[in-house]
């Protein structure tokens, strides 16, 4: 009798454990390493461009923010559909593919569209899931990375902020305000063409069915707002998170926004400590950057400091 009871207990425990695992939320990471290779980085970038275009993506822009880094920005109907499903969803419309040289190695990685769709509170994530599957098929899926030991689920990402007192997704930088969408877009186009604030245009994606556009911007200032300044201080892991870039400006109706830097950078580096780390990468190293980035983007949008 005792053996029967023991077997029943063990069976029940195993069943409970199995059910718990079945319903456990998936842990997500911001980036995917497709594969590693070697050779000429531009040749690899050209090859990657052919692969993503062959998979049905449109390459809407590319740039090299600093030596050893090439970034392609891609979009698709699925990404635009996901972007259109939510307020301020435009941030998810452009995903990034990076070609990064580290020593003799070239790393081909890409932003995880499902991770960012959750972080940006997208209502319809089916498009993001489809895009992830397509990218995995086209570029490989060696490993996901970018959050260290942080165990972030969909629920965590949708309410994410780095720590108490810091911004959420719905606490953006408000860059400028205009009377109409057309006027706002024209102002941003002008500011980026003139390089105001050290910001220049990398891409623009218009969101279907909405007066909303997202711009990717290169931040070239040598000081605290610059892409190279930020990345040289936070991106020091063995596998680089280059696909964090570029920063975005969002035009929605007549208003111009950007995700505040303490959210936008932290969502790509949620594991980064504030003060001390083994690699020397910390948020303390870029304490001046959030305000500097906001000021640069305000200038680019034609707003007032």
- Alpha carbon 114 to its chain centroid, in Å, reads 10
Q: Tell me, what's the pLDDT at 25?
A: 82
Q: pLDDT band for 11, please (50, 70, 90 cuts).
A: very low
Sign of CA dihedral 167, 30, 153, 90: positive
Predicted confidence (pLDDT) at residue 2 exceeds the cutoff of 70: no
d(CA 27, CA 273): 20
Separation in Å, CA 155 to CA 115, 158, 163, 201: 11, 5, 16, 33
Burial class of residue 299 (count of CB atoms within 10 Å of its CB; 0-12, 13-18, 19+): buried
Of 4-18, 73-87, 278-292, which gets the smallest average pLDDT? 4-18
Q: Compute the radius of gyration of the chain from its Cα atoms.
A: 21
Q: Tell me, what's the pLDDT at 198?
A: 98
Over residues 268-290, mean pLDDT: 93
Q: Tell me, what's the pLDDT at 24?
A: 59
The overall average pLDDT reported for the chain is 93
pLDDT digits (tens, 9 = 90+) for 115-136: 999 999 999 999 999 999 999 9
Q: Tell me, what's the pLDDT at 17?
A: 46
Q: What are phi and psi of 127, to 5 degrees?
A: -65, -40
Q: pLDDT band for 299, please (50, 70, 90 cuts).
A: very high
Least Cα distance to 204 among 219, 217, 191, 223 occurs for 217
d(CA 62, CA 200): 12
pLDDT digits (tens, 9 = 90+) for 51-71: 999 999 999 999 999 999 999
Angle at 40 between CA 35 and CA 46, to 5 degrees: 70
Query: Does CATH number 3.40.630.40 belong to domain 26-300?
Result: no
Predicted confidence (pLDDT) at residue 16 exceeds the cutoff of 70: no
Over residues 74-92, mean pLDDT: 97
Q: Tell me, what's the pLDDT at 14?
A: 46
d(CA 94, CA 75): 5
Least Cα distance to 52 among 81, 82, 74 occurs for 74
Q: Tell me, what's the pLDDT at 8?
A: 42
Q: pLDDT band for 13, please (50, 70, 90 cuts).
A: very low
Q: Tell me, what's the pLDDT at 222?
A: 87
pTM: 0.91
Predicted confidence (pLDDT) at residue 178 exceeds the cutoff of 70: yes
Under 8 Å between Cβ of 68 and 101: yes
């Amino acid at each position: 009798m005792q053996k029967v009871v023991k077997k029943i207990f063990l069976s029940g425990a195993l069943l409970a454990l199995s059910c718990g695992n079945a319903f456990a939320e998936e842990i997500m990471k911001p980036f995917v390493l497709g594969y590693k290779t070697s050779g000429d980085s531009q040749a690899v970038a050209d090859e990657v461009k052919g692969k993503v275009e062959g998979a049905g993506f449109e390459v809407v822009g590319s740039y090299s923010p600093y030596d050893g880094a090439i970034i392609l920005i891609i979009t698709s109907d699925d990404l635009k559909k996901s972007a259109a499903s939510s307020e301020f969803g435009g941030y998810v419309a452009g995903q990034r593919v990076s070609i990064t040289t580290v020593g003799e190695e070239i790393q081909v990685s890409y932003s995880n569209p499902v991770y960012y769709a959750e972080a940006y509170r997208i209502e319809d994530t089916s498009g993001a899931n489809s895009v992830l599957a397509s990218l995995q098929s086209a570029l490989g899926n060696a490993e996901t990375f970018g959050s260290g030991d942080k165990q972030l689920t969909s629920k965590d990402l949708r309410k994410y902020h780095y720590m108490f007192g810091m911004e959420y997704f719905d606490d953006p930088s408000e860059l400028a305000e205009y009377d109409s969408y057309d006027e706002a877009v024209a102002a941003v186009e002008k500011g980026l063409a003139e390089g105001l604030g050290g910001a220049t245009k990398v891409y623009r994606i218009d969101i279907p069915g909405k007066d909303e556009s997202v711009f990717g911007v290169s931040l070239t200032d040598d000081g605290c707002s610059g892409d190279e300044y930020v990345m040289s201080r936070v991106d020091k892991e063995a596998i680089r998170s280059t696909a964090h870039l570029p920063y975005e400006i969002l035009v929605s109706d007549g208003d111009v926004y950007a995700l505040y830097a303490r959210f936008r950078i932290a969502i790509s580096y949620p594991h980064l400590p504030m003060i001390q780390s083994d690699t020397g990468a910390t948020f303390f190293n870029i304490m001046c950057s959030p305000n500097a980035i906001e000021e640069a983007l305000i200038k680019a949008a034609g707003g007032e400091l």
